[in-house]
Each structure stands twice: as structure tokens, then as C-alpha cells.
Amino acid sequence: MHQINDEIRDSEVRLIGSNGEQLGIVSGQEALRIAYDSDLDLVKISPNAVPPVCKIMDYGKFKFEQLKKAKEARKKQKVVEVKEVWLSMTIDVGDLNVKAKQTIKFLQAGNKVKVSIRMRGRQNAHSDLGVEVMQKFFALVESDATMEKKPLQEGRNILMILGPKA
């Protein structure tokens, strides 16, 4: 947080006027007096500089504008979600197409998609078939997706992560 008015105890400060003009290096008391004469606040902008930089301004208005800027920045920020699509090693062509359409919707909305296959029982011995299913699936969504993580077996699952095309 910024130091204002009587909290500033430096013997010398570099003073900037309310219009942005340089007023030079003055004593702390002199800077405070100038600020009070113009009915504004003395705010320490750069405490680490030698001498510290202080500016004469309306502190309430300054805080309000900073909050407004922060709010605008949050509003423009887009949160990327990771959606998940489950496949099986024995999935049929029709079901694969339905999952591909759903994945394309997620990607067009700007989300990432995690594609997973859970292997059960004897399927663990044939993980290469699961990777083939993933490759077929990627071929269906390739026009809208980029592969961010190739299909890899992690324990009983095979995972692949897709991102939207730029």
C-alpha cells in the first residue's frame, strides 16, 4: 500500500505536481505543505528510489481508478477449462463420432479436452490398441484440435490432451 501525507517521514523527496510536472527535490515538510495548500494528498509512488518519489494527487480518486482497472482486467481474462471425454478400447464408429462432435464443441468454445481410456482386466496387456483408438479419435477432430500431449499410458489409463487450434 502507498504511504500518504503524514506517513511520509523522509527528509527529502522528489516531488511531482498534480499535473505531472516535475517540481524537483524538496524537503518532506515542504512537499506536504504544497499538497495541503492545493487541497490534495501527498502519495509516495516509488519508495525505493533515492530520493523517494512522491506525487501530489487526490488519493481517493487514485484508489478508485486502480480498482476500476483491476476489475476491467479481471473481466477480460478468460478462464480455460479442461473438459474430459471418456472413450473405451472397444468403442464403435458411431459412438466415436458422437464423442468427436462433443469434443469439437468444447474446443470451439476455447476449452482444452482431456481424452481418457480406462483399461480393465486383460485390456492392460493390449495398451497399443487403446493408443490406436486415440489416434483414430484425433484424426476425427484434427481440423479443430492440436495435440498438446500425445497418448500415453499412465497406470490403468491412457490419456491425451487436446487444445483448440489458434
- Domain containing 67 equals 5-73
Number of folded domains that form the chain: 2
In the listed set 22, 54, 73, which residue is the last one of a domain according to the structure? 73
Whether residues 18 and 66 fall in one domain: yes
> Looking at 48, 73, 98, which one is the last position of a domain?
73
Kindly state whether residues 16 and 89 are assigned to the same domain: no
| CATH at residue 58 | 3.10.20.80
Give the pLDDT confidence of 90-125 residue by residue, as tens digits: 888 899 999 999 999 999 988 899 999 988 888 878
Reduced to 3 states, what is the DSSP secondary structure of residue 49?
coil
Helices (H), the chain: 28-37, 59-76, 93-108, 127-141
**What CA–CA distances, in Å, run from 38 to 18, 27, 77?**
9, 17, 39
pLDDT at 85: 92
For residues 75-94, give the mean pLDDT. 86
Same domain assignment for residues 46 and 69? yes
Task: Report the share of the chain in percent with pLDDT over 70.
Answer: 100
**Model-level pTM?**
0.54
Q: What is the CATH number of the domain that holds 90?
A: 3.30.110.10
Is 64 found in the same domain as 23? yes
Choose between 22 and 1: higher pLDDT: 22
